[in-house]
Amino acid sequence: AATSKVVQIVNATYATETTNSTTTYADTGLTATITPTSASNKVLVYVFQNGVAKTSSSVSSAVGIKLMRASTDILTFSNQSGYTASAVANNVGTVGCGYLDSPATTSATIYKTQFKQNIAASAAVVQEYNISSSIVLMEVTP
């Protein structure tokens, strides 16, 4: 059987506390760009979204987080982080994912995360206290 090989690795971090008090997805600030060497290769994405928290203003508040390739939704890997069924704040910590993507291109390809608060007027937070989040992109042969 053929064995996949890692062609290149891109790593990026972002360490600025970011807040979103709306139910519309917004950038977390965590982003990385990779330029695949072959359109048939895949990109293995690992995300460590750190410092995830929700504020204490709503019983139903929780954090949603998703992975994007440019403006394309790839994967929602959290939609209820921090939910407590009460109006208390909750510091979740790390929410992460691994995803094998097939961008089918040799053009520069941007991966990023976005987040939202599930209930308007509460706040979702990432990189709380300026802790560093990270994203790793690995181009692999099929």
CB atoms closer than 10 angstroms to residue 129: 10
Structure token pair of residue 110:
């941007």
Question: Is pLDDT above 70 for 85?
Answer: no
Would you tell me how many other CB atoms lie within 10 Å of the CB of residue 5?
Answer: 10
Beta strands (DSSP E) in the chain are 6-14, 18-20, 26-34, 42-54, 63-69, 72-81, 90-101, 109-117, 124-126, 133-140
Per residue in 7-43, pLDDT tens? 999 999 999 999 999 999 999 999 999 999 999 999 9
β-sheet bridge partners, residue 81: 63
Percentage with pLDDT > 70 across the chain? 97
